[in-house]
Structure 1
Amino acid sequence: MTKHMHVERTYPTLPTQKHNVRRFSFQTKSCSVEDFYKLLTPVARSIYLYSLWNLPLDPRIKIFWRIPSYRCDPNIIPEFFSRFNLLRVLVIFNKVLMLSSFPVVITKLFHLRYLQVPFHQNIPESISELQNLQTLICSGYSLESVSLPVEIWTMQYLRYIHLRAATSLPSPRRESILNKHLVTRMPNLEEFSGLSCTSCTNEVFSGIPDLRRLIIQAPLFFDDSLPNGLMDMSILRKLETFKCYYWQHSWISCNSIKSFVFPTSLKRLTLTRCYLFPWEDISSTLIMLPNLEEFKLKDSKATDDIWRLSDEDKFKSLKLLLLDVLNLKHWESSSDNFPNLKRLVLKNCTDLQEIPGDFGEIGTLESIELHDCSTTTEDSAREIVQEQEDMGNNILKVYIHNNCRE
């Protein structure tokens, strides 16, 4: 039986001959380029590099979140990867070592399907040479905005883009991709993580019609309003998951939940750092999403501190509700508002006085989880569970965590 993958963990005691496999994973603490040459065959199909490379480093150290980040000499990369032109998977996973520029030689690996590199700057236009690429991950992190080239619209097989910075995506109609008669859509793209909110336009969304998961960010210092004052995602009829992260400096510009127009296909919604919205906007927005199963609202501040739900406010499909770091004090609701809720999670809601007592009547509710909430909220959760136990309902559980008091 042929070995599926060779995993190297024993450096510096390395084998003296190459292995007859096509998939390699280096998980030693460190390894040199010479060591890679000893083990890898030119017909290697997959390379996973988790080791620290013993490469010439730029002596300058970039401090980022107190983690030293060393920039690697990119000239070493071409010399190494030029030997493996049959690669389909290349993963360079390194939180310490960052490439100072995108290795152009990687864009010559025509057969590449999966690429992950420690990089956090603008992606060059040569990335479009990887016409078979399906997954692009840049694991480097940056507070500054980065951009993708307009040529990325020619990459028809891309399914997954993950970038850890607010990333600008040019319009697919920009001069017909620099006056070239090329297809200007990514019809197979299912997930985009890191898209800048400034690129959330109808033209961009029309080029990614099959998107199912979208995570957007605002740049650290973002002074412009949303395009046309709205982020209209209604054209994304297959979108199931949407997450939005705003830096604190962006709150003033992107502040209203009414700025979003969601497709009815949405099942999971996470909003972080929304600002100056009335709780009524939350209710009116969620009831327009008949398939919504999960809603998470984090680190946000409303204009009022009372969430009052009427009999007409029914979140029919909602199974998970998470509220984290909010200025909510009073919550008026009944079991009829959340007929299918399974999990209620409250985190750092120190102003909230209590959970609506009628929540114990939700037949589907399985757990109430509290993390660093007020003592009165904890007491109300215990009372709800105790009342249900007295009635013979032992399904509902309460979990209370008080890390701040420990």
Structure 2
Amino acid sequence: MHIACKCKGLPHTVVIFAGILSIIERYCWQEFADSLSSSTSMKTEPLELSYSHLPEYLKPCLLYFGAFREDQDIPVQRLLWLWISEGFVQKTEGKSLDDMAEDYLMDLVSRSLVTVTKQRTTGGAKTCRIHDLVHEFCLAKAKNEGFLQILHGDSDISTFTGPCPHRLCIYLIKEEELEKMRLYFPNLRCLFVFSYYHWNFSWKVIKLRDGSPGFPVLKLLRVLDLGDFDFGTSFPMEVVFLAHLRFLAIHGHMKDIPSAIDNLSRLETFLVKGNFDAVVLPNSIWNIKTLRHLWTTNSSMWCGFCLPIDNVEVSTHLDHLNTLSLAVDPFSQSLQDILTKLPSIRRLKCVTVRSEAKSPGNCNRILTLDKLTSLQSLKLQRFVGYEFEYPFNLKKLTLSFNHQPWSKMSAIGELPNLKVLKLECNSFVGEKWEMEEGEFPNLRFLKFSRLDICLWIAPSYSFLRLEKLVLYECAKLQEVPSSLGKCENLELIELRGCCESAVSSVKQIQQEQVSTGSQDLKIVIRATVD
């Protein structure tokens, strides 16, 4: 009651204090209550106390949130990669760095300092954010400790006071301020370049007075995110002189990466944003033994890295590569050779860079993926004329534009650990899918999007663990199998752009669940078609 009274009815203070109490022993609660000041502002005291109770390894992880915009949903995967590149995450025997970083995040969530805003279909957090009061606290604390500094468009670097920061975030900085960066921030370890207005700077017009490139070479940088600079088709060559770089994110439409990229011998994460096509990597990429994540992001599906295979020794591997966005020629003989060089891959997006199509029934090639024993998430796009041998441990599978016959679904249904299946446009073609008994034993999430299926037949007690079914623009599908009414875990069925008869069948499933005493199933209907 003493602690509750100290909260003074402020909801955020209640949450923060509860987070502290949840991680300290009950016999320490009185000591904590006695430590609460009656004069200190209740706006800052809860956060100060919560911060002081954090383990030392979590403090920089929390302060790092100050680098992002207030009220911004932060992609969790990117955040965890940044923490790892900064060296915040401690190695633990039996756990990967990615898993440890996720544990750190969930610890902050359990202390009510971070909020998960979107969940992954496979479980875990997809995006997160912090309360505006926590953001304000992180900025002030980070500045006072020389951990992080924010520079805005009207900032003058020469007037900067305080400890020389190791991390710098720039928002719309003036060109002349770039010249001063090397002088005033010689020990900079991390640089972010952001825009408040979500438009791209043009790198070509930003030059220093001596005509040299606009980015001053800060040789101690470990993290460089230039996501709001648009490099066009040219790779920024000054980046290759940053020998200590662990994390690199750039924005542009470059077709290839220079061979000098292997100067970045410590590089762990390489992200290319905004690219609409394949990014060709040089043979020298195999020299970077620390690479863990090679990823491209764009609204277009057809983007990825082209890994070279010619003149590469058979023994050469990217042993530590965990995440890869791969662009390939679907009829190249080297595709399987590339896959054999990725023994530790856990997340793979594989897209094709050629549009040749064969008859959907003419499957005369096999993509062998079952040797990738660590692979958990797989996305295959535009592999027409292929059959697939899937990894046994696969948990998430997304397919699109592969033109597979529905008879090939049985190979997927046999995967014992599959939890998420997304069938996007033309992944499977044909009017009828008839399932077999015992398929999909652990599937939690199933999505159909823009498929031409008309008839879906499922035996009794199918999808026993299914929790969510999503049907987008499957206008020809006449009904959802009534056997789904026996799914005790089913929480949501969402339909958009489906016909009235399919909607009616879903409502009958809901009625069946209600008749058995279950009120948990939610139905969401959007934009039905005739």
TM-score, normalization by structure 1: 0.82
Are the aligned partners of 2:268 and 2:293 in contact in 1 as well (CA < 8 Å)?
Answer: yes
Q: How far off its partner does 1:36 sit? A: 2.8
Q: Which amino acid aligns with 1:339?
A: L
Q: How far off its partner does 1:349 sit? A: 0.8
Q: Which runs of 5+ in 1 are unaligned?
A: 53-66, 178-182, 247-253
Counterpart-to-counterpart distance in 1, 2:201 and 2:295: 20
Q: 2:433 aligns with which of 307, 330, 342?
A: 307
Deviation string, structure 1 residues 84-131 (Cα, Å, up to 9, x no partner): 100011111127x23442122211110000001123220111001100
Are the aligned partners of 2:281 and 2:306 in contact in 1 as well (CA < 8 Å)?
Answer: yes
Q: Which amino acid aligns with 1:174?
A: N
Deviation string, structure 1 residues 24-69 (Cα, Å, up to 9, x no partner): 1112xx33332234455111111101249xxxxxxxxxxxxxx999
Matched, 1:318 2:443: yes
Greater relative CO, 1 or 2 (CA 8 Å, sep 6+): 1
**What is the number of residues matched between the two proteins?**
370
Q: Secondary structure at the match of 1:94?
A: strand
Q: How far off its partner does 1:392 sit? A: 1.3
In structure 2, the partner of 1:36 is 178
Compare 84-93 and 392-401 and name the one that shifted more.
Answer: 392-401
Q: How far off its partner does 1:227 sit? A: 12
When residues 41 and 376 of structure 1 are mapped into structure 2, their CA distance, relative to the original with a 3 A threshold, is same
Matched, 1:269 2:407: no
When residues 162 and 403 of structure 1 are mapped into structure 2, their CA distance, relative to the original with a 3 A threshold, is farther
Counterpart-to-counterpart distance in 1, 2:284 and 2:326: 18
In structure 2, the partner of 1:4 is 147
In structure 2, the partner of 1:146 is 279
When residues 241 and 94 of structure 1 are mapped into structure 2, their CA distance, relative to the original with a 3 A threshold, is same
Are the aligned partners of 1:371 and 1:400 in contact in 2 as well (CA < 8 Å)?
Answer: yes
In structure 2, the partner of 1:388 is 513
Q: How far off its partner does 1:74 sit? A: 8.6
Are the aligned partners of 2:221 and 2:244 in contact in 1 as well (CA < 8 Å)?
Answer: yes
Q: How far off its partner does 1:215 sit? A: 0.4
When residues 384 and 147 of structure 1 are mapped into structure 2, their CA distance, relative to the original with a 3 A threshold, is same
Q: Secondary structure at the match of 2:274?
A: strand
Identity percentage of aligned residues: 27
Are the aligned partners of 1:74 and 1:100 in contact in 2 as well (CA < 8 Å)?
Answer: no
Q: Secondary structure at the match of 1:210?
A: coil
Are the aligned partners of 2:235 and 2:258 in contact in 1 as well (CA < 8 Å)?
Answer: yes
Deviation string, structure 1 residues 276-334 (Cα, Å, up to 9, x no partner): x321211x1113311111111011164531111232x4211111110000011111113
Q: Which has the higher strand share?
A: 1
Counterpart-to-counterpart distance in 2, 1:330 and 1:25: 54
Matched, 1:215 2:349: yes
When residues 375 and 344 of structure 1 are mapped into structure 2, their CA distance, relative to the original with a 3 A threshold, is same
List structure 1 runs of 4+ shifted beyond 6 angstroms.
223-228
Matched, 1:260 2:260: no
In structure 2, the partner of 1:249 is none
Q: How far off its partner does 1:262 sit? A: 1.2
Counterpart-to-counterpart distance in 1, 2:146 and 2:527: 49
Q: Secondary structure at the match of 1:290?
A: coil
In structure 2, the partner of 1:339 is 464
Compare 78-87 and 284-293 and name the one that shifted more.
Answer: 78-87
Counterpart-to-counterpart distance in 2, 1:73 and 1:162: 27
Counterpart-to-counterpart distance in 2, 1:47 and 1:131: 19
Q: How far off its partner does 1:176 sit? A: 3.7
Q: Which amino acid aligns with 2:324?
A: F
Q: Secondary structure at the match of 1:317?
A: coil
Matched, 1:191 2:323: yes
Are the aligned partners of 1:71 and 1:100 in contact in 2 as well (CA < 8 Å)?
Answer: no
When residues 78 and 161 of structure 1 are mapped into structure 2, their CA distance, relative to the original with a 3 A threshold, is farther
Are the aligned partners of 2:259 and 2:282 in contact in 1 as well (CA < 8 Å)?
Answer: yes
Q: Which amino acid aligns with 1:396?
A: L
In structure 1, the partner of 2:159 is 17
Q: How far off its partner does 1:346 sit? A: 0.6
Q: Secondary structure at the match of 2:220?
A: coil
Are the aligned partners of 1:319 and 1:343 in contact in 2 as well (CA < 8 Å)?
Answer: yes
Taking only aligned residues, the RMSD between alpha carbons, in angstroms, comes to 3.0
Q: 1:168 aligns with which of 306, 313, 328?
A: 306
When residues 367 and 274 of structure 1 are mapped into structure 2, their CA distance, relative to the original with a 3 A threshold, is same
Are the aligned partners of 1:25 and 1:49 in contact in 2 as well (CA < 8 Å)?
Answer: yes
Matched, 1:114 2:240: no
Q: Which amino acid aligns with 1:44?
A: L
Are the aligned partners of 2:348 and 2:379 in contact in 1 as well (CA < 8 Å)?
Answer: yes
In structure 2, the partner of 1:289 is 415
Q: Which has the higher helix share?
A: 2
When residues 2 and 224 of structure 1 are mapped into structure 2, their CA distance, relative to the original with a 3 A threshold, is farther
Are the aligned partners of 2:217 and 2:241 in contact in 1 as well (CA < 8 Å)?
Answer: no
In structure 2, the partner of 1:238 is 374
Counterpart-to-counterpart distance in 2, 1:319 and 1:392: 22
Are the aligned partners of 1:73 and 1:100 in contact in 2 as well (CA < 8 Å)?
Answer: no
Counterpart-to-counterpart distance in 1, 2:257 and 2:427: 35
Counterpart-to-counterpart distance in 2, 1:373 and 1:400: 9
Counterpart-to-counterpart distance in 2, 1:335 and 1:22: 61
Q: How far off its partner does 1:141 sit? A: 1.5
Q: Which amino acid aligns with 1:229?
A: R
